């Protein structure tokens, strides 16, 4: 006798994965996994388990993401001063903005609504300009 519950289970799984809260929850879970991986992997030490940044490999310069990885490692270990040194711009501006956007995305998803922030062309240019300016400033200091 065939199990007729399999199509029902597949349908329930499909419905759960298409719920508006699924993407932000999956993103939060991936972030938690990344934080657990980073906990024992010190990005300040060369030859660790983290792959080398392609930008750093090609240019020898530090990109904002490199400082962001070191900043998160320091925050996980409770070292706010070193985190501020590693990437002050991301810590003081980027992290609060990302936190707000993530919380809003999750809140709307849990309420059953899909939400995606929209940024104007001016906003995109401003964010990219700030990233380039921070990259230049960080590598000169």
Higher pLDDT, 60 or 73: 73
pLDDT-wise least confident of 6-10, 35-39, 79-83, 110-114: 6-10
| Structural domain total, the chain | 1
Distances (CA, A) of 52 to 26, 46, 57, 62, 133: 26, 9, 7, 11, 22
Average pLDDT of every residue of the chain: 88
* pTM higher than the cut 0.85: no
**Residue 82: per-residue pLDDT:** 95
**What is the domain range of residue 67?**
5-140
Distances (CA, A) of 81 to 7, 59, 74, 85, 135: 54, 27, 9, 6, 20
Rounded to whole angstroms, how far apart are CA atoms 79 and 72?
10
Count the alpha carbons within 13 Å of 15 in the hemisphere toward its beta carbon. Answer: 6
Higher pLDDT, 14 or 34: 34
pLDDT-wise least confident of 52-56, 91-95, 111-115, 116-120: 52-56
């Amino acid at each position: 006798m065939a199990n007729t519950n399999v199509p029902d289970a597949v349908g329930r799984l499909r419905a759960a994965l298409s719920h508006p809260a699924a993407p932000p929850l999956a993103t939060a879970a991936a972030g938690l996994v990344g934080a657990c991986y980073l906990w024992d992997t010190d990005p300040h030490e060369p030859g660790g388990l983290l792959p080398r940044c392609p930008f750093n490999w090609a240019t020898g310069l530090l990109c904002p993401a490199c400082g962001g990885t070191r900043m998160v490692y320091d925050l996980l270990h409770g070292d706010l001063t070193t985190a501020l040194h590693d990437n002050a711009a991301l810590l003081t501006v980027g992290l609060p903005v990302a936190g707000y956007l993530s919380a809003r995305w999750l809140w709307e998803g849990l309420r059953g609504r899909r939400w995606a922030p929209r940024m104007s062309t001016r906003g995109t240019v401003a964010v990219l300009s700030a990233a380039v300016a921070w990259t230049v400033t960080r590598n000169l200091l």
